[in-house]
Structure 1
Amino acid sequence: MKLRQLSLQNFRQFRDEVIEFARGETNNVTVIHGSNGSGKTTLLNAFTWLLYEDVDFDTRPDRLASEGAMAGANAGDEVTVSVTLEFTHDGAEYTATRTAVYEKQSSTDFDGTLEDVTLAVGYDDGSGPTKLNNPGNVLSQIIPERLSELFFFDGEDIDELAGIDNQDRIQEAIQNIMGLTILERATRHLETVAGRFESQVQESASEELRELIDEKQSIKSDIEQLERKKEDKDRAIDRIRTEISDIKQKLSRLDESAQLQEKRSEYREQKEKLEADVEEINSQIKDTVTEHGFIPLAMPLIRDTADEIDQLREDGVIPSELSDDFLDSLLEAEQCICGRDLEPETAPYSQVSSLRGEVASDGVEQGAMRIVGHLRQFSDGHAAFFDEVDALIERRQGKHEEIDELVELIDEISTELQDLEGTTPDGESISDLETERERKEEEKDQLIADKGGIDEKISTREEEIEQLEDDISDQRDEREETRLAQRRQQAAEQVQTELTSTFETLKDRVRSWSNQEVNQTFGAIASKDLEAEITDDFELKIWQSVRNDRVEVDKSTGERQIASLAFVGSLVKIARRRYEDDSNTEYFTGGIYPLVMDSPFGALDKDHRREVSRILPELATQVMVFATDSQWEGPVEEEMRDIAGKQYWLDFDEGDGEDRSPQTQIKAEQTATAGN
Structure 2
Amino acid sequence: MIIKKISLYNFRQFQDEQIIEFSNDEDKNITLILGDNTSGKTTILQAFLWGFYGKANFKSKDSLLNAKVAQEMLTTKQEKDVRISIELEHQDVNYFLTRSLTHYVKSGEIKASAISKVDMKYKQSDGQIENIPTHQIQNKIGEILPEDLAIYFLYDTERFGNITSKADVTSSVKGILGLTVLDNMIKHIGTPTKSKSVLGQFNSSLNLEGNKNATEAYERFKKAEERKEEVETRLEQKKKEREAYSKSVDERQAILRSLEKTAQLQAEKDKKVKMMNFEKSALKTAQEHFYSSFKNNTPMFLGHSLFQKAMAELANANLDKKSIRDMNANAIKDIIERGICVCGTEVCEGNEAHKHLLEEIRYLPPESIGTLLKFFKEKADLFSKTGEGYFTQLDNSYKNIFNNLQKMSELEDEIQFLNDELKKEDSVEKHQEILIELEAKVEKLSDDIDLLNQELGELKKSIKDDKATYEQNIKLSDRNNELLKYIEYANQVLEWVTNHRDTREHDIKEQLEEKVNNYFSKMYHGKRKVTIDDKFRVNLVTTDLLEEIHTDESQGLETVKNFAFISGLVDLAKQKLQDAYEKEAEAYPLILDAPFSNADEKHVKNISEVLPNVAKQLILIVMAKDWNYAKNALSSKVGKEYYLNKKSEIYTKIT
Q: Please say whether Structure 1 and Structure 2 have the same fold, judged by a TM-score greater than 0.5.
A: yes
Matched with 1:72 is 72
Shift of 1:10: 1.4
Q: How does 1:515-530 map to 2 (within 5 A)?
A: 515-527=513-525, 529-530=527-528
- Matches of 2:634 and 2:246, distance apart in 1: 37
SS in 2 for 1:651: strand
Pairing 1:214–2:219 present = yes
Counterpart-to-counterpart distance in 2, 1:209 and 1:419: 76
Task: Determine if the alignment matches structure 1 residue 11 to structure 2 residue 11.
Answer: yes
The residue type paired with residue 493 of structure 1 is N
- Cα separation, partners in 2 of 1:218 and 1:41, compared to 1, 3 Å: farther
- Please give the per-residue CA displacement for 1:447-477, whole angstroms capped at 9, x wherever unaligned: 5345433432332232122212331233221
Q: Which residue of 2 aligns with 1:587?
A: 582
Per-residue Cα deviation, 1:498-541 (whole angstroms, up to 9, x for no partner): 11112222222222322221121111111253222334563423
Please tell me whether the aligned partners of residues 221 and 462 of structure 2 are also in contact (alpha carbons under 8 angstroms).
Answer: yes
Instruction: Using the aligned pairs only, state the percent identity.
Output: 21
2:179 corresponds in structure 1 to 180
Contact 2:592 2:619 in 1 (8 A): yes
Q: 1:617-637: per-residue Cα shift (whole Å, max 9, x none)?
A: 12201111222345334x233
Name the SS of the counterpart of 1:420 in structure 2: helix
Aligned-partner Cα distance in 2 for 1:646–1:251: 54
Aligned match of 1:141 in 140, 143, 146? 143
| Distance (Å, rounded) in 2 between the aligned partners of 1:110 and 1:244 | 55
Q: What pairs with 1:98-177 in structure 2 (closer than 5 Å)?
A: 98-107=99-108, 109-114=109-114, 117-123=117-123, 125=125, 127-133=127-133, 134-163=136-165, 169-177=168-176
Distance 1:440 1:175 in 2: 37
Residue equivalent to 1:458: 452
Distance of 1:247 and 1:603 partners within structure 2: 29
1:601 positional shift: 2.3
Tell me what 2:51 maps to: 50
The within-5 A match list for 1:460-499 is 460-475=454-469, 476-477=472-473, 479-480=476-477, 486-499=484-497
- The separation in 2 between residues aligned to 1:242 and 1:156, in whole angstroms, is 27
Indicate yes or no: 2:540 matched with 1:542.
yes
Identify the match of residue 504 of structure 2 among 497, 503, 506.
Answer: 506
TM-aligned CA distance change 1:484 to 1:122, over 3 Å: closer
| 1:9 CA displacement | 0.4
Match of 1:646 in 2: 640
Residue 346 of structure 1 corresponds to none
| 2:232–2:456 Cα contact (<8 Å) kept | no
Output the CA distance in 1 between the equivalents of 2:122 and 2:188. 34
How far 1:186 sits from its partner (Å)? 1.5
Q: SS at 2:621's partner residue?
A: strand
Matched, 1:607 2:602: yes
For the residues of structure 2 that align with 1:245 and 1:558, how far apart are their CA atoms?
24
Q: 1:185 to 1:421 in 2, by over 3 A?
A: same
Q: In the alignment, what sits opposite 1:267?
A: none
Q: Which amino acid aligns with 1:105?
A: K
Please tell me whether residue 2 in structure 1 is matched to residue 7 in structure 2. no
* Structure 1 residue 101, shift from structure 2 partner: 1.8
Aligned-partner Cα distance in 2 for 1:119–1:262 = 68
Call closer, same or farther: CA 1:496–1:261 in 2, change over 3 Å: farther
Separation (CA, whole Å) in 2 of partners of 1:115 and 1:545: 52
Q: How far 1:595 sits from its partner (Å)?
A: 0.7
Q: Distance in 1 between matches of 2:596 and 2:582?
A: 36
Offset at residue 84 of structure 1 (A): 1.0
- Whether contact under 8 Å (1:244, 1:437) holds in the other structure is no
Q: Whole-Å Cα distance in 2 between the matches of residues 507 and 571 of structure 1?
A: 14
| C-alpha separation in 1, matches of 2:111 and 2:247 | 39
Task: Kindly state the Cα deviation for residue 569 of structure 1 after the two structures are TM-superposed.
Answer: 1.2
Does the CA contact (< 8 Å) of 1:123 and 1:132 recur in 2?
A: no
Give the residue type in structure 1 aligned to 2:621: F
2:107 aligned partner, one-letter code: S
SS at match of 1:60: coil
Match of 2:337 in 1: none
2:248–2:438 Cα contact (<8 Å) kept: no
How many aligned positions are there?
A: 489
- Judge conservation of contact 1:105–1:113 (CA < 8 Å) in 2: no
Asked if 2 retains the 8 angstrom alpha-carbon contact of 1:174 and 1:510, the reply is no
SS in 2 for 1:3: strand
Residue 483 of structure 1 deviates from its aligned partner by 5.5
1:650-672 alpha-carbon deviations (Å, 9 max, x no partner): 334554xxxxxx233223xxxxx
Task: Provide Cα deviations, 1:567-615, integer angstroms capped at 9, x if missing partner.
Answer: 211221222235xx8x865524210110112222233233212211222
1:70 partner amino acid = A
Q: Distance in 1 between matches of 2:263 and 2:564?
A: 28
Separation in 1, partners of 2:636, 2:549 = 38
Report deviation, 1:7. Answer: 0.8
Change (3 A) 1:474 1:236: closer
1:506–1:494 distance in 2 versus 1, CA, 3 Å: same
Secondary structure at 2:142's aligned position in 1? helix
> Residue 104 of structure 1 contacts residue 113 of structure 1 at CA under 8 Å; is this kept in 2?
no
Classify 1:526/1:159 alpha carbon distance in 2 versus 1 (closer, same or farther; 3 Å): farther
**Local SS of the residue matching 2:516:** helix
Partners of 1:37 and 1:242 in 2: CA distance: 40
1:397-449 superposed Cα distances (whole Å, 9 cap, x missing partner): xxxxxxxxxxxxxxxxxxx9997334xxxxxxx548x8886676556545534
**Residue of structure 2 in register with 1:559 after alignment:** 557
Structure 2 residue matching 1:173: 3-state secondary structure? helix
Instruction: Give ranges in structure 2 of 5+ residues lacking alignment.
Output: 265-417
* 1:82 partner amino acid: R
- Correspondence 1:627-642 to 2 at 5 A: 627-633=622-628, 635-642=629-636
Aligned pair in 2 of structure 1 residues 72, 154: CA closer, same or farther (>3 Å)?
Answer: same
Amino acid at match of 2:48: F
CA contact (8 A) 1:532 1:542 kept: yes
Match of 1:20 in 2: 21
SS at match of 1:474: helix
2:141 & 2:614 partners in 1: Cα distance?
23
Are residues 40 and 586 of structure 1, via their aligned partners in 2, closer, same or farther at CA, if it must alter by over 3 Å?
same
